[in-house]
Structure 1
Amino acid sequence: MNPTDFYCDQVLSGRTAVEIILETPKVLAFHHTQPYWPVHVVVIPKQHITSLAALEEGEMAIVQKMLEVAAELCRKITAEHGGCRLSTNCGDHQTTKHLHFYIHSGERIRDVHGRPI
């Protein structure tokens, strides 16, 4: 078990329950377990990939599947909330060492330490 990979260790293993929004054979999208925005969705590959900066040969096809799921969810969230943001982190800015995209909308409801604003 890798304590820095919440998504493999907890979500994909089933140890932490999540509210799934969309699932494909290679990608899982769900509501963030501790949202920082009123709408805060996480999109992950079901295969471990550390980050965009650490992509290895053959992993781009999975990232494309992630982008397809993200695009569908961005269209839906934009239609419902007027707009959204898509982001990812790499390196020291990435607390969970598993590639993930955030899709979020609205005004931030938690600070960078996870405390309510």
Structure 2
Amino acid sequence: MDCIFCKIINGEIPSSKIYEDEEVLAFHDINKAAPIHFLVIPKKHIQSANEINSENSKTIAHIFEIISKLAKDLGISEGGYRIVNNCGKDGGQTVNHLHFHVLGQRDLKWPPG
């Protein structure tokens, strides 16, 4: 498989990790769109939100628990932050491995674009 996020998980590509456990990895985005911008990904390859099902939904819930923890740890929980998931080509997904962007520490406008 030629997935950049799988390569990051396997240590083939370096990342600026901020959290890791058996199920998920979180690291700073190299193309920051906000002062705080990190990604949280499942270690098991799930192509997109379209593939969330009863077998992997517990991992997705765990991802949101980690997002909440990291938002507190990084000081963005009080002021607020945005969680973004792009699904499919029209949704802006450029890496076909489920991932959640977490952006904070700036005023995030709506609609996003």
TM-score band, normalised by shorter chain: 0.7 to 0.9
Q: Which blocks of at least 5 consecutive residues in structure 2 are unaligned?
A: 109-113
Matching residue of 1:23: 20
Matching residue of 1:94: 93
- SS of the residue corresponding to residue 53 of structure 1 reads helix
Please list the CA deviations of residues 37-59 of structure 1 after superposition, one character each: whole Å capped at 9, or x if unmatched: 22111000010011112224401
Q: Distance in 2 between matches of 1:45 and 1:79?
A: 22
Conserved? CA contact 2:42–2:99, under 8 Å: yes
Higher share of residues assigned helix:
1
Q: Distance in 2 between matches of 1:31 and 1:20?
A: 7
Conserved? CA contact 1:45–1:99, under 8 Å: yes
Conserved? CA contact 2:68–2:77, under 8 Å: no
The number of equivalent residue pairs is: 104
Q: What aligned pairs does 1:1-117 form with structure 2 within 5 A after superposition?
A: 1-2=1-2, 5-8=3-6, 10-76=7-73, 77-79=75-77, 82-92=79-89, 93-105=92-104, 106=106
Deviation of the 1:107 alpha carbon:
6.0
Query: Post-superposition, which runs of at least 4 consecutive aligned residues in structure 1 deviate over 6 A?
Result: none
- SS of the residue corresponding to residue 76 of structure 2 reads helix
Q: Identity of counterpart residues, as a percentage?
A: 33
